[in-house]
Structure 1
Amino acid sequence: MDQSVPSRAVVIGAGIAGLVAARVLSERVDEVVIVERDAIDDDTATQPGVPQAMHVHLLLQRGYRELTSLFPGLDGRLAAAGAPALDLLRDGVWITRAGEAPRVPSRLRTRSASRGLYESVIRDLTLERPNVRLLDGHDAVALVGDAAAVRGVALRRRPSRASGTALTGTTPDHHATAAGEPQGETSQLDAWLVVDASGRASKAPAHLAGIGAPVPTESVIDASLRYATRLYRLPAVPRDWKVLLVRDRPPVGTRGGVVSEIEGGRWVVTLGGAGEDQPPTDDDGFVAFARDLVSPRLFDAIRDAEVLSPIHGWARTANRWRHAERIRAWPAGFTLFGDSLCALNPVYGQGMSVAAMEGGVLGRWLDASAVGRDRRSATPPATGPLIDALSRTARLPWFLATGEDARIEG
């Protein structure tokens, strides 16, 4: 019989998905270590690991409900930071070539905030858990284990500032030096479960190959959508909306734009287009693109606004599904999570919501009787059923996103 030992989970990635996974795990294992390649500071919007953070992040009502359930106090902290409450049907103006959608009061409630604010508040709430530690400025360079089971991760400290912060003030306890790493400060972190929530750029395929495990095949649908974003301060005039979206309908046209109020009295404006009809990142081109949308409402909103930021472009919008669910001999003790498993075109606003829903899936799997018994042993849990459940959760959002993008591709 396996000897009872304290259980540790390692989460790779400190974005929204990683924080959700860590929060769920913190209620069910003894210790959670979040490994993040970037050095975390107060300005999450400018971290290299979240280059898309400048763009509009409209959290859907289902995702907001899931997140506020997972993170008690989230709504209050967002409100205190100035994130406006939003009724998506009453406070939103939704315009297509067919006209403007009716506006009615609804229960589709959320808060409109920057990605940076969402992430910093959720990170603070996660790290307030006494058994959660953040090890930033470290790369997860390999999985430790074999094709049958993962038992930890090999880490390398990055040359940039890395805090290895911990709520308790202790430093992460690394074990034996990771084998096969020719240079840099490397270490090994043993774990009962490793969750890869590192996002679109996940190195999971290479890491799986490194332990001799099967590598998932991928489905990719890329409509070549591109975005450009700038922050504004709108004139102090009465307006009866908090978010305005203008979008053409493919295949007639692919241009669109959204302006959304966020914290600090600022408004974030994101323009998008596909193929050769992409939003420029120069001042005159950005304004001209907004002027040529199917409705003048967005251009009218920003024509006299104060510019608060440079224009930021973003091009990585492909839908990508790593089909881990098709691998029958998936290694125990390891799972993909969030965008590492299924990354969706962010224009449809589903990413954070799907990550929040996957948190519920992870919790239910951890509460299953067989998994619960494994937590007090040295035996890595069979994660195939978890992969299957996460994939089922991602299926409908995948079809919604790729169905729209296929219209553009076609």
Structure 2
Amino acid sequence: MSQKRHAEDGKARSEGGCPEDKKRKVPSLKNAILEVMKMQSSVQHLMEPILEPLIRKVVKEEVETALRKHLSNMKRNFEKELHPFESRSLQLQFSNALSLPVFTGTRIEGEDCSSIQVALVDGLTGEVVKSGPESSARVEIVVLEGDFDGDEGDNWTLEEFKNNIVREREGKKPLLTGDAFLNLKDGVGFVSEISFTDNSSWTRSRKFRLGARVVDNSDGTRIREAKTESFIVRDHRGELYKKHHPPSLMDEVWRLEKIGKDGAFHKRLSRESITTVKDFLTLLYLDSPRLRNILGTGMSTKMWEVTVEHARTCVIDKRIFMYCPPGPQQKSGVVFNTVGQLMGLLSECQYIPIDKLSETEKVDAHNLIGTAFKRWGEVVSFEDESSLTGGSSHLTDVHHPSSPRTETNF
């Protein structure tokens, strides 16, 4: 019995173990923490020289970026305080007028054959906006109704502008062909090669306008669109019959306003051998009533005035002519230009310009010009009017005829 108790006690001591032995085998938490701290200190000493400059650089860049944004916002807010409506005053503008008339298939140009220019301007000052994101905006050229003015003149809304954009007719090509987009640079851009594919006769006003609007305006700033004056677009085939401004002397007479090619007035003039603008002007100066009678009552007074005014814009060369009627002395005569317009008189070898003549002298001189055209062989020519004002020595032989010229039928 005693032996059995001793055996169990031994077993219990063997399984439980000695407290001192157990303490030696398990490492303490304190030691573990100390070891980690030692390792952290070593790593910190190694990484600090590497990480510190990098962190400083990143922080510096972020601070500078934030500062720039803050200063920019302050400046914008300050400008808005000075000009509270400036953010809404930006507008596009066509800087030059269009070259008219406009025909389908022909490049749309500005005056003097220049490119059409579009600019972004400040509505308050009228100056071109050369800086800021808007100054490099992308712009689209569109076609507008010719009668689009907006409910309040130039203060139309974006919706009004969109509603007046003209689309192509069903089954037709887009109204504009070519590059209808342009990019502003320093607030200015130029329209590239664009042309119309259809005429404007089918629209409600029978006219078009060109419009310009900013696309991809990400910041939402309202930039008012631009529009040109209204204009008619004619079919290209009409260009063959267009009027010349100004006409030339040798243009066919139907190039004058209100005289249509192969029309009634053209046929009336042709029957009287009036086939060129020069013929028209000559009869206008020699016998205006006869010319008016040839055109007949079908040409109203208003139409007559328009035609005559257009004809008188013709560029006439500086050459002048002189006719001295037969006589013992032949020292007096009449001076006129190539279409029979009175320029002055020659009296005793002295030239007197028209502004120095009396009304009676003008009537007599006009009659003398009619005689000169009938007796063209006795007419002499000079390079210009100054040839007659430089002295009289070269006028003593004015009776000698100039180079032969085909006589007119007038």
Tell whether the structures are fold-level matches, with TM greater than 0.5: no
Pick 1 or 2: higher relative contact order, CA cutoff 8 A, min separation 6. Answer: 1
Larger Rg: 2
The TM-score with structure 2 as length reference comes to 0.16
Give 1 or 2: higher helix fraction: 2
